[in-house]
Structures are given as C-alpha cells and as structure tokens.
Amino acid sequence: MTNTTTTRKTKVNLIGLSKADYRGNPTSLCKGCGHNSISSQIIAACYELDLVPENIVKFSGIGCSSKSPTYFLSRSFGFNSLHGRMPSLATGALLADHSVKGLAVSGDGDTASIGMGQFKHVIRRNLSLVYIVENNGVYGLTKGQFSATAEAGLSLKAQGTNPYMPIDIAWEALVGNATFVARSFAGDPKQVKEIIKAAIHHDGIAVVDIISPCVTFNNTDESSHSYAWGREHEVALHELSYVPPAEEILVEYLAGEATEVTMHDGSKVVLKKLEQEFDPKDRSAAMRILEEANAKGWLLTGLIYISPDQPSMADIYRLPDTPLNRLTEDRLRPPRDSIEKINNLMF
C-alpha cells in the first residue's frame, strides 16, 4: 500500500510502476495450480497495459479461484463476495464509479452451478466487467467433488464416475448475448495474457473461460481439464495480440494472413490466421465452431466472439461525468421549494 519506489535496476512501465506494484499477497493455492498462472498473467497484462491499479476494482465469489484476487493488484479495491453472487455485487459497485474497470474472477462451481442465474444476467446487462472463469471441473476447496463443467464419464478417485453432460461456459455466454467471449488455457500463458488485455479494453461484459487445471483433484491425463489433455487437444483459433490505441501495428502481415478487430476505444486486436478462416464478429460462426470443437474433442481457444460497440450498462443508465459516488448533497437532495410542489401532486 505504499507509493511506487523504483531503484535504478527495477524496470518500470510508462506510468512509472514496476511489476511489483501490480502484485498481491503470496498465493495460498496449491503448487502448480492453473489459477496461479492466470494471476501472473493478470499482473503482466496490467503492467504491460500501463494501467493505474486504482482504476481497477476486483470481484470474486467463493472457491479456490475466488481467493486469487488477493494474489494480484493489491493497490486495487476488491470484494470477495458470496458464492455465486459476485455479479450482482459487481453491478451495484461499478455503477457507483463508471470510470473504474471491473475485473472478476470466478470458478466453474461459482459460475456454472450456484451462480448460473447471476452469470447469465450480468451478461444480459453488458456490465463493463472482465469475467474470468478459472475452470477446472472440480470443487477444490471442498476436496474434489465434480462441478457442472466436468465431462460425462470422468472418473475421480473419491467421487466415482460423473454421469452428466457438462455445461459449456463459452456456449452459455454466447447464447446469453455476451459481447465478448473467449476461451483460453492456463498452460498457454501468452494467449491468456493477450486475451486478458483485450478483455480489459472491451467496454462491456468480457467472458473469459480459462481451463485451469486442478493439480490436486483433477489432473489425470484423460481428464479434459488437465494440463496433459490441454497440451494435446488445444486448437487455437488464431494467434492473438492486443495493440493499445496509440501504438502502431509493427509486425507486417501478408494479405489475408491476419484480421483486425477495432475496439470501442480505438485499440486493436490482431488475429493472425492459423489453420482456418474465422471471423469472431460472426455469432453463428462462433456457435458452429464451438459445436465442432465439442464434437471433435478439441480444447478450442482464442477470441470466439466479439461485438465491440454495444452500449454498456453504464451507457444505458446515462450516468453523469462525475462518478455517482462523488456527488454531494447539492446534486442529490431536491431543492427545498420542491417539497410544496410534491405535496400539491398528492391528492
């Protein structure tokens, strides 16, 4: 909680902050947990984006994943709320100061089971919030029960075999009209970082479903949430890089080799083509590719869908330039003489 102190050797970003200024407390999660890798990429993304930590507010629900916001950005406000109920709390908080950016971390239990309702509704409202789901298919903190994203047929030592079909978080986001849907893999840190950068610069809900292996309870080679499975089955839609508004795109691409998506603030996401043609602005194409990925057993990663210019919740509410939480009595309490007018409106 102190101001930036930089020694000669410490590297700083454009606003003079070192990476340490974006860190948090030491993690209390297991060694090798995918969530720790994601926390590191959040730190790296914010550092590289030159973000002022005070301009970010962190949110989480309950679970291993939801503990992680204390492991990054300790200069940012945060709220470790209730199980499955983080989206509502974030909604109220972010309307209080619409100049801050919300960054939420949830898990597959927190989102796809107890929190499915609030997840779908925060999407519907297009709240300007990065919504990361650290998805590992199990409840870690309660010692390894199946979650709703666990694949049918998955066998776990103490649990037996899961008989139910999984919930696909990216699908749910897409059919819920999310304006930004991405999937990534904790074992692909470079992609995680670039997707988080793009998500932060999306003015609306940005759902980022990250397969994040639980090394303690669900990391056998045949589990679709394991490191081994991910490495073997990851199919990236594109090679993705985020380019801030002021920067020029330095790498030259051949015609047809890459596409660009312009964000609402003028920044760009450059998508370098890999195996196949894919336009992330095409919603039905996004649905088709998700269906194909599920049928073929791919871990499909990348920016699945984006609609950068939809009005965010703050736009819809037409909030004044001064954040609501800085308004004082003169703008909040109606004038004294209005009371007579109101009494006259009654019978």
Partner 1 sequence: MTETQTVINKHKIPSVQPVINDFSLTVGTENGSGSQTSNLTILRALFKMGLPVSGKNIFPSNIQGLPTWYTIRVNKNGFLARIEEQDIVIAMNPASFAQDISAVTSGGSFFYADDIKLNISRQDIAVYPMPVKRLSRESDAPANLRSYVANMVYVGVLAQNLGIDLDTLYQALDFHFKSRPKPIDLNFNVIKAAFDWAAQNLEKTDPYRVEPMESTGEYIMTDGNTAAALGSIYGGIQFVSWYPITPASSLPEALNQYLPILRKDPVQPKKNTYAVVQAEDELAAIGMAIGAGWAGLRSMTSTSGPGISLMAEYSGLANFAEIPVVIWNIQRAGPSTGLPTRTAQNDLIFTYFLGHGDTQNIILLPGSINECFEFGWKSFDIAESQQTIVFVLSDLDFGMNQWMARPFEFPDQPMDRGKVLWEEDLEKLKGDWGRYRDVDGDSIPYRTVPGNRHPSAAYFARGTGHTEDAVYSEDSEEWKKLLARLKQKHDNARHILPEPVIERTQGAEIGIIGFGSTEPAIQEARHNLADRGKKSDFLRVRAVPFSPQVEKFLEEHPRTYVVEINRDGQMKQLLTLEYPHLALNLKSAAYFDGMPLTANRIEETILSQEVK
CB-based contact 144:216 (threshold 8 Å): yes
Applying CB under 8 A, which part among 67-75, 231-239, 253-261, 297-305 lies near partner 1? 67-75
Taking the least distance from each CB to partner 1, the nearer of 119 and 146 is 119
Q: Are strands 129-135 and 101-107 parallel, antiparallel or unpaired?
A: parallel
Q: Does 20 bind partner 1 (CB under 8 A)?
A: no
Shortest CB 113 distance to partner 1, Å: 14
Identify which of 236, 173, 229, 247 has the alpha carbon closest to the alpha carbon of residue 206: 173
Q: Does 329 bind partner 1 (CB under 8 A)?
A: yes
What is the rounded distance in angstroms from the CA atom of residue 122 to the CA atom of residue 109?
17
Cα 147 from chain centroid (whole Å)? 19
Taking the least distance from each CB to partner 1, the nearer of 91 and 135 is 91
Of 29, 35, 37, 69, which one interacts with partner 1 (CB under 8 A)? 69
Shortest CB 62 distance to partner 1, Å: 8
Phi then psi for residue 91, to 5 deg, are: -60, -50
Q: Does 75 bind partner 1 (CB under 8 A)?
A: yes
| Secondary structure (3-state) at 102 | strand
Of 37, 40, 76, 135, which one interacts with partner 1 (CB under 8 A)? 76
Taking the least distance from each CB to partner 1, the nearer of 57 and 181 is 57
Applying CB under 8 A, which part among 159-167, 198-206, 288-296, 324-332 lies near partner 1? 324-332
Shortest CB 214 distance to partner 1, Å: 21
Count of residues of this chain found to bind partner 1 when the rule CB under 8 A is applied: 62
| Secondary structure (3-state) at 310 | coil
Applying CB under 8 A, which part among 225-233, 236-244, 297-305, 331-339 lies near partner 1? 331-339
Applying CB under 8 A, which part among 144-152, 209-217, 267-275, 311-319 lies near partner 1? 311-319
Q: State the alpha helices, DSSP H only, in 56-203.
A: 64-67, 86-96, 108-112, 116-124, 169-175, 189-200
Q: Does 312 bind partner 1 (CB under 8 A)?
A: no
The site string for partner 1 over 78-117 (x = CB under 8 A, - otherwise) reads xxxxx--x-xxxxxxxxxxx-xx----------------x
The site string for partner 1 over 23-62 (x = CB under 8 A, - otherwise) reads -----------------------------xxxx-xx----
CA 238-241-244 angle, 5° bins: 150
Q: State the alpha helices, DSSP H only, in 125-210.
A: 169-175, 189-200
Taking the least distance from each CB to partner 1, the nearer of 78 and 137 is 78
Q: Using CB atoms within 10 A of its CB, is residue 248 exposed (0-12), middle (13-18) or buried (19+)?
A: exposed
Q: Does 175 bind partner 1 (CB under 8 A)?
A: no
Phi then psi for residue 127, to 5 deg, are: -60, 140
Q: Does 121 bind partner 1 (CB under 8 A)?
A: yes
Shortest CB 5 distance to partner 1, Å: 11
CB-based contact 280:306 (threshold 8 Å): yes
Q: What is the DSSP letter of 166?
A: P
Shortest CB 144 distance to partner 1, Å: 22
What is the rounded distance in angstroms from the CA atom of residue 77 to the CA atom of residue 224?
34
Burial per residue of 98-123, b for 16 or more beta-carbon CB atoms within 10 angstroms, e otherwise: bebbbbbbbbbbbbbbbbbebbbebb
Sites of contact with partner 1 (CB under 8 A): 1-4, 52-55, 57-58, 69-70, 74-82, 85, 87-97, 99-100, 117-118, 121, 317-327, 329-334, 336, 338-339, 342-343, 346-347
